[in-house]
Amino acid sequence: MKQVRNTQAKTEILNLINASETALSHYTIQEKVGDLCNRVTIYRILDRLEEEGKIHKIVNVNGVVNYAKCSQCKEESHSHDHVHFNCEKCLSVICLENVVPKISLSDHFVAHTYNFVISGICPKCCGS
């Protein structure tokens, strides 16, 4: 079993992601942590947090990678079989934990994971 290293930067980044209602991009995380660490260190921390089952990646409709907290993952069992919503107006990416699409694959296909991103307008932007 790998030793889990907790640094101030790792703790701060995890706290940011856990406190956010939306998935955060590397750029947003870098803005929020300021001079605490450089961009390469942030990438390493994000990779480590994903390996530990604490966060997951979402690629939005524009190809930007975002990071969100995991709700039921562990290091040995990392699964995100839910839908993500990408708002076209405010560009937020939101995990929709209670929306699970039904998938039916042809014979001889075995799905290990999937990533669904729905693009549209979120509830906050619908009224504005």
Binding residues for Fe cation: 97
* pTM of the predicted model over 0.95: no
- Indicate the residue type of 45: I
Task: For domain 8-126, give the CATH number.
Answer: 1.10.10.10
Binding residues for Zn(2+): 87, 90, 122, 125
pLDDT score at 72: 63
- Indicate the residue type of 119: S
Binding residues: 87, 90, 97, 122, 125
Give strand pairing partners of 82. Answer: none
Percent of the chain with pLDDT over 90: 45
Each domain of the chain, given as residue ranges in start order, spans 8-126
What tens digit of pLDDT does each residue of 57-94 get?
A: 988 888 889 999 987 655 555 566 678 899 999 989 98
Dihedral of CA atoms 9, 79, 93, 19 in degrees, nearest 10, equals -40
**For residue 98, pLDDT beyond 80:** no
